[in-house]
């Protein structure tokens, strides 16, 4: 009997031995052992009759599962003949079956000592020793049995399992070698030796055992697969390539081998060979879909690459053709196009994905992100409305929807959506702050400044460093010339945290400008121009210079700004009149 030893070995050994013991005919065992019990001949006929009676009564109550009475009768047997091995064995067996291992142990030891040629006594003792954690003693018991009792060589596997559990790996290999010597080449032996060698990081020996397994049972493809994985995972790529080339020729029906060969080529940098090899498994319906997807996913980080782009697209389209009802295949193809920067194609495949399975929220997020990147805000609204039918409690869907309405200047719809969704964002401080920040923008756009300010305040309560809110709130306050000190405090924090952000520098400068701190405004606008020489920032810089009385410099900046805009009427007037118009 063979098995792979692992953390449940105690349980396994117990079950094995219980099955073995259950297979013994008690009467037969008794008759065998009586031949060994010389003391029976030394007692009177009367005592012998009494002993037989007690033993049969013990067997009867054992069969009836009245273990207390059974033990009582077996103990009377031992009182008459203390060298009665079978009675000791039966008492040990009863205690063992009741999981009273410490009580069973001395009787099992005694039975084995009295009848050292009976394998069942060894097996029960080894089982009890294993159960009580006496693994070294159990190992010794197995060794003694195998050496003394003919026909017990199969239990070398149990001995090796104990040795592996105790991390005696060299001893386990010796035991398996002995088993191979006595039993001949066997799959179980080669498989167990391979596993032990891998634990020891003895790769050459493990590979050798792998070849043995394939030779012993060439029909079992799992051994071929395992051997390939061992070679690949240990970066024995040249060996793996040679091995897999041979195997794909001998087993062309095993398309998974082509996937593995492709992986080897990829690791070697032989990209063309890798992708060409993949055509076989990708055209097959029998190869595991997840294996194909994992293989494609391994290339995503390499994209875009002119040598990979089209071959990978071809493979992805083959994947979809081979698995037309698989949302995973469609989603993978969407991922591929996204990594190639082909956003419209990516969105097309993601949209096909949700026609098969609308329950994958990640795919919905991908679709919405692409809608936003493509600036297709009407699609954002359409897709979020559909997604909300499936995920009515997902705050992010309300956020996307409201933001699209806000960008489309559909302010009332935006406000309605943000107010509906904010209850689902309440437990997430960041998301809660985003909702109130957008509400602040929407209310400001329709001139409801009190509601706008209130929303901004709530946004900052949830996330005091929300830079979007700090920027917009301070800017809108400055435009209204309201709470300018508060606006300055917020914009100051922005430029402190983001000293190279031109938008934030411009906002802070504008707050200072409204506070008539023209020197400070000019300073920050000059900094902003370094990072973004846009028409708006340059014009603002000119305005600040004009307020400082630097008219020539102001006109020069206005001329720069004029060159960057289509509608030059206001700037033309400023330049012509050398006058500030606000």
- What is the rounded distance in angstroms from the CA atom of residue 422 to the CA atom of residue 433? 9
Q: What is the pLDDT of residue 44?
A: 86
Q: What is the pLDDT of residue 41?
A: 53
Q: What is the pLDDT of residue 286?
A: 87
What is the Cβ-side half-sphere exposure of residue 473, based on CA atoms within 13 angstroms? 34
Is it the case that residue 548 has pLDDT exceeding 90?
Answer: yes
Is it the case that residue 40 has pLDDT exceeding 50?
Answer: no
> Could you tell me the CA-to-CA distances from 432 to 344, 422, 440, 502 in Å, in that order?
31, 7, 12, 27
Q: What is the pLDDT of residue 577?
A: 92
Torsion on CA atoms 118, 124, 130, 131, rounded to nearest 10 = -170
Determine the 3-state secondary structure of 406 from DSSP.
helix
How does pLDDT run across 486-495, given as a tens digit for each residue? 999 999 999 9
Region for 179 from its dihedrals, namely left if φ exceeds 0, alpha if ψ lies in -120 to 50, beta otherwise: alpha
* Range picked from 224-233, 295-304, 371-380 for highest mean pLDDT: 371-380
Is it the case that residue 275 has pLDDT exceeding 80?
Answer: yes
- What is the rounded distance in angstroms from the CA atom of residue 453 to the CA atom of residue 448? 9
| Mean pLDDT, rounded, of the chain | 91
- Give residue for tokens 């719809």: 413
Tokens at 307, concatenated? 């040598």
Is it the case that residue 25 has pLDDT exceeding 50?
Answer: no
Average pLDDT (253-281) is: 92
Q: What SS3 string covers 272-338?
A: HHHHHHCHHHHCCCCCCHHHHHHHHHHHHCCCCCCCCHHHHHHHHHHHHHHCCCCHHHHHHHHHHHH
How does pLDDT run across 95-126, given as a tens digit for each residue? 999 999 999 999 999 999 999 999 999 999 99
* pTM: predicted TM-score of the whole model, two decimal places: 0.66
Q: What is the pLDDT of residue 33?
A: 45
- What is the rounded distance in angstroms from the CA atom of residue 497 to the CA atom of residue 487? 16
Q: Which domains does the chain have, with CATH numbers?
A: 1-184 (1.25.40.10), 372-464 (1.25.40.10), 490-582 (1.25.40.10)
Q: Both ends of the chain: CA-CA distance in Å?
A: 95
- What is the rounded distance in angstroms from the CA atom of residue 277 to the CA atom of residue 247? 14
Angle at 267 between CA 265 and CA 273, to 5 degrees: 20
Contacts 24+ apart (CB under 8 A), 380-384: 380/404, 381/405, 381/408
How does pLDDT run across 415-425, given as a tens digit for each residue? 999 999 999 99
Percent of the chain with pLDDT strictly greater than 70:
93
């Amino acid at each position: 009997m063979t098995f792979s030893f692992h953390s449940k070995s105690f349980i396994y050994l117990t079950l094995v031995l219980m099955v073995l013991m259950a297979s013994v005919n008690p009467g037969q065992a008794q008759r065998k052992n009586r031949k060994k019990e010389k003391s029976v001949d030394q007692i009177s006929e009367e005592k012998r009759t009494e002993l037989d009676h007690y033993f049969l009564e013990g067997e009867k109550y054992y069969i009836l599962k009245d273990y207390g009475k059974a033990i009582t009768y077996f103990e009377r047997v031992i009182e008459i003949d203390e060298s009665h091995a079978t009675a000791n064995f039966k008492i040990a067996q009863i205690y063992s079956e009741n999981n009273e291992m410490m009580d069973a142990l001395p009787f099992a030891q005694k039975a084995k000592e009295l009848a050292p040629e009976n394998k069942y006594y060894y097996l029960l003792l080894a089982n009890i020793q294993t159960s009580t954690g006496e693994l070294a003693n159990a190992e010794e018991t197995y060794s003694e049995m195998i050496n003394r009792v003919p026909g017990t060589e199969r239990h070398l596997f149990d001995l090796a399992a104990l040795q592996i559990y105790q991390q005696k790996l060299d001893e386990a290999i010796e035991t398996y070698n002995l088993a191979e010597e006595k039993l001949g080449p066997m799959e179980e032996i080669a498989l167990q030796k391979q596993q032990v060698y891998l634990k020891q990081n003895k790769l050459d020996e493990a590979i050798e055992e792998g070849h043995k397994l394939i030779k012993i049972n060439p029909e079992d493809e799992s051994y071929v697969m395992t051997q390939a994985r061992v070679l690949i995972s240990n970066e024995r790529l040249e060996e793996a390539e040679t091995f897999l080339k041979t195997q794909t020729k001998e087993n062309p029906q095993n398309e998974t081998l082509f996937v593995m060969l492709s992986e080897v080529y990829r690791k070697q940098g032989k990209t063309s060979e890798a992708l060409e090899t993949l055509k076989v498994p990708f055209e097959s319906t029998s190869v595991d879909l997840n294996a194909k997807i994992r293989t494609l996913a391994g290339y995503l980080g390499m994209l875009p690459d002119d040598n990979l782009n089209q071959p990978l697209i071809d493979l992805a389209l083959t994947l979809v053709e081979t698995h037309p009802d698989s949302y995973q295949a469609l989603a993978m193809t969407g991922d591929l196009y996204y990594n190639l920067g082909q956003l419209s194609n990516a969105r097309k495949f993601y949209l096909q994905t949700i026609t098969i399975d609308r329950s994958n929220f990640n795919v919905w997020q991908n679709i919405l992100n692409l809608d936003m990147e493509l600036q297709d805000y009407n699609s954002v609204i359409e897709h979020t409305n559909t997604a909300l039918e499936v995920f009515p409690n997902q705050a992010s869907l309300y956020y996307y929807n409201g933001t699209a309405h806000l960008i489309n200047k559909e302010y009332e719809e935006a406000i309605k959506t943000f107010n509906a969704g904010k209850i689902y964002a309440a437990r997430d401080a960041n998301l809660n702050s985003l909702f109130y920040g957008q509400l602040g923008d929407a209310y400001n756009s329709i001139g409801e400044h009190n509601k706008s300010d209130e929303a901004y305040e709530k946004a900052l309560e949830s996330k005091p460093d929300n830079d979007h809110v700090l920027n917009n709130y301070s800017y809108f306050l400055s435009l209204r010339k309201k709470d300018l000190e508060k606006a300055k405090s917020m914009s100051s924090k922005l430029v402190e945290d983001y000293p190279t952000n031109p938008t934030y520098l411009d906002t802070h400068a504008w707050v200072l400008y409204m506070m008539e701190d023209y020197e400070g405004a000019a300073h920050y606008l000059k900094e902003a121009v370094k990072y973004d020489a846009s028409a708006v920032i340059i014009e603002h810089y000119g305005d600040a210079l004009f307020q400082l009385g630097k008219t020539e410099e102001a006109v020069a900046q206005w001329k720069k700004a004029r060159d960057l805009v289509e509608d030059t009427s206001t700037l033309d007037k400023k330049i012509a009149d050398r006058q500030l118009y606000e």
